[in-house]
Amino acid sequence: MSISARRVEDSDGALLGAAVSYTDVTEFMRAAQVKDDFIALVSHELRTPLTSIVGYVAIALDEEDLDPVLRKQLEVVARNGRRLERLVGDLLDEVQHERRPASLRDQTTDLAEIVRESVAAARPHATASEVELVADVPASIPFTGDGQRLAQVVDNLVSNAIKYSEAGGRTEVRAGVEGGSAVIRVRDTGIGIDPADHDQLFTRFFRTREATLRAIQGVGLGLSITKSIVESHGGVIEVDSEVGQGSEFRVVLPLHVVERLAS
């Protein structure tokens, strides 16, 4: 049941009373569940054959005396196979995050290590895109949370920073503790985002006009997944950006869980 209320005023603004409305959302919740189950099922069914396609193409590409034309064609298949794998992974994550068992959601992890690993994993992408990638991360930031999902947060932000930059750009990743929170900042010198779009950025399937016009590949799921992971850890994600000026994404994660465990 969803309940909403609003003031009712006369033409002079004097309070007359309140209007309360009750909406039965059972059907809506059921439809949302059916949709999530459907996405999970389809993604699972796609993942198995896809893994086999990508795996066999990789084996074929290992062949040394491969015809050069065939190699180029197989590389296209491999690249698109990986894109599909990412998309299927994103769709699964979208519906599965909240369903992960508590034992996976509440591990002691090291955020500094997670950030370092994400940056290392993104380095080939940065090099291929001619984007300088620099990181400033302390030795350790102990944190209680879902390490695998938090890694995804950093992976998404860093890969976006590189993807939405031009050759010669720079991406900076910084992590640290400020007050009672761990703060991760990913800043780029890329194409930027119109402030009018900031509110919608974290909505499923939203893409800016700029990204679409430049035909930069993506489906608009990464940031919505990122936001839901951050929020499930009690954190917030914020953005500062202007078109043509680059962007900064800031993730703030409260450390209180660690403090509570330590006391």
| Footprint on this chain of ligand ADP (rule: CB under 6 A) | 156, 160-161, 164, 188, 190-193, 201, 206-208, 211, 218-224, 247
Q: State the DSSP code for 205.
A: T
Q: Which CB atom, from 154 or from 201, has the smaller least distance to ligand ADP? A: 201
Q: Which CB atom, from 46 or from 239, has the smaller least distance to ligand ADP? A: 239
Evaluate the CA torsion angle 136, 140, 141, 143 in order and state its sign.
Answer: positive
- Pairing state between β 15-23 and 132-136: unpaired
Q: State the DSSP code for 106.
A: S
Closest separation between CB of residue 244 and ligand ADP, Å? 10
SS3 for 209-226 is: HHHHHCCCCCCCCHHHHH
CA nearest to 157, candidates 179, 131, 188, 136: 188
Closest separation between CB of residue 56 and ligand ADP, Å? 27
Closest separation between CB of residue 190 and ligand ADP, Å? 5
Closest separation between CB of residue 246 and ligand ADP, Å? 7
Closest separation between CB of residue 46 and ligand ADP, Å? 18
Whole-angstrom distance, CA of residue 102 vs CA of residue 43 = 23
Bridge partners, 241 (sequence order): 247
Exposure class string for 15-37: b at 16+ Cβ within 10 A, else e: eeeeeeeeeeeeeeeeeeeeeee
The CB-nearest residue to ligand ADP is 218
Q: Which CB atom, from 95 or from 221, has the smaller least distance to ligand ADP? A: 221
Coil, strand or helix at 102: helix
Q: Which CB atom, from 74 or from 175, has the smaller least distance to ligand ADP? A: 175
**Contact assessment for residue 247 and residue 161, using Cβ atoms and an 8 Å cutoff:** yes
**Contact assessment for residue 165 and residue 190, using Cβ atoms and an 8 Å cutoff:** yes
Closest separation between CB of residue 134 and ligand ADP, Å? 16
Whose structure tokens read 């809506």?
28
Closest separation between CB of residue 230 and ligand ADP, Å? 13
Q: Compute CA distances 100 → 97, 103, 135, 149, 153, whole Å.
A: 6, 8, 30, 10, 16
